[in-house]
């Protein structure tokens, strides 16, 4: 499938971005344990449905770079839109990427036409993890304190790919291996990540401002925190629809790309053509 790769300049950094297909644009923002490759399985379905898929590595992730500066993920997403001549896009975000998309919609509502929140979070929304999840989070914090990037990546895979309490054989080995490959370099001691500036006030206090079609997609095997966030998003955004996939965890786009693509197309098809 033909693609165009571009380095998008941003203050203090450069974003690696890829576009494929033709038609109304759909912009994809990846999870915090991954990079743009996590959308490899989803993109062909969107392109075949007649859409242009644009994905990018957020600053400091994947092939994107940054200096040790403060920056706005919302401004970075807008820079990607501008680089590809996109006035408005349907936004799709997984995990951290869903939070970035949500915050961008609140800060720049004129740049988005629809939003698919996939196993994401909501800025300012906090709930207590389950005891099993809390134990994994504690192990992760200890590994980070010890600067043991390999152990952190292993825990990330167990928590977010397998799902809390799920066996490592639940998903195909290639998914676990690819997520580990994308995640592990983030914990290199010399990797520069910069400092992202949060949206103020946070999204949790502003969900009622959202006035566009929203679908919240979550795997039933995801963390209790993510499941609670999906319920809160559906309750807080007028007309939002929550969809639970019974046999998936956090990385829905990798586990169930065809089903996720179908939900995205169902969301945007009634909107016709936009640019």
pLDDT in tens, 131-187: 989 998 999 999 988 989 999 999 999 999 999 999 999 999 999 999 999 999 999
Residue 107 and residue 213 in one domain: yes
Tokens matching residue 210: 């959202």
Residue 19 and residue 99 in one domain: yes
Whole-number mean pLDDT of the chain?
A: 97
Give the residue from 187, 204, 225 where a domain finishes: 187
Average pLDDT over residues 187-211: 97
Residue 117 and residue 30 in one domain: yes
Q: For residue 92, is pLDDT > 80?
A: yes
Residue 95 and residue 176 in one domain: no
Q: Where are the beta strands (DSSP E) in the chain?
A: 3-10, 13-20, 25-29, 52-56, 65-66, 70-71, 89-94, 112-118, 195-196, 214-219, 241-245
Average pLDDT over residues 103-107: 98
Q: For residue 269, is pLDDT > 90?
A: yes
Q: For residue 33, is pLDDT > 80?
A: yes
Instruction: Residue 80: give the domain boundaries.
Output: 3-127+192-271
- Report the number of distinct structural domains present in the chain: 2
Residue 256 and residue 202 in one domain: yes
Q: How confident is residue 2, by pLDDT bands cut at 50, 70 and 90?
A: confident
Distances (CA, A) of 179 to 34, 158, 198, 208: 6, 11, 26, 34
Residue 38 and residue 113 in one domain: yes
Q: Which of 19-28, 131-140, 152-161, 233-242 has the lowest mean pLDDT?
A: 131-140
Residue 180 and residue 241 in one domain: no
**So what's the pLDDT on residue 200?**
97
* Cα gap 256→176, rounded to integer Å: 14
Residue 166 and residue 201 in one domain: no
Residue 144 and residue 165 in one domain: yes
Total H helices, total E strands in the chain: 9, 11
Q: What is the CATH number of the domain that holds 61?
A: 3.40.50.1820
Q: For residue 237, is pLDDT > 80?
A: yes
Residue 178 and residue 218 in one domain: no
Q: For residue 1, is pLDDT > 70?
A: no
**So what's the pLDDT on residue 196?**
98
Residue 79 and residue 150 in one domain: no
Average pLDDT over residues 232-238: 98
Residue 176 and residue 112 in one domain: no
Q: What's CA 190's distance to the chain center, in Å?
A: 24
């Amino acid at each position: 499938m033909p693609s165009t790769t571009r380095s998008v300049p941003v203050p203090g950094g450069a974003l690696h971005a890829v576009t494929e297909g033709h038609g109304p644009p759909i912009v994809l923002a990846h999870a915090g344990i991954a990079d743009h490759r996590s959308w490899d399985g989803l993109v062909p379905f969107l392109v075949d449905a007649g859409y242009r898929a644009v994905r990018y590595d957020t600053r400091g992730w994947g092939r994107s770079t940054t200096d040790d500066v403060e920056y706005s993920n919302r401004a970075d997403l807008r820079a990607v839109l501008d680089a590809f001549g996109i006035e408005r896009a349907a936004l799709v975000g997984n995990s951290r990427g869903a939070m970035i998309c949500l915050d961008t919609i609140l800060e720049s509502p004129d740049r988005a036409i629809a939003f698919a929140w996939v196993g994401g979070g909501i800025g300012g929304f906090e709930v207590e993890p389950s005891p099993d999840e809390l134990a994994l989070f504690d192990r992760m914090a200890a590994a980070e304190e010890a600067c043991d990037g390999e152990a952190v990546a292993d825990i990330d895979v167990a928590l977010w790919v397998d799902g809390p309490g799920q066996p490592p054989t639940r998903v195909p080995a290639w998914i676990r291996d690819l997520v580990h490959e994308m995640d592990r370099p983030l914990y290199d001691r010399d990797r520069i990540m910069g400092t992202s500036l949060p949206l103020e006030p946070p999204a949790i206090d502003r969900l009622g401002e959202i006035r566009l079609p929203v679908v919240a997609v979550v795997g039933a095997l995801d963390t209790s925190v993510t499941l609670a966030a999906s319920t809160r998003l559906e309750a807080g955004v007028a007309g939002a629809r929550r969809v639970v996939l019974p046999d998936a965890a956090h990385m829905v786009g990798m586990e169930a790309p065809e089903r996720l693509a179908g939900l995205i197309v169902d969301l945007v098809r009634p909107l016709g053509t936009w640019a």
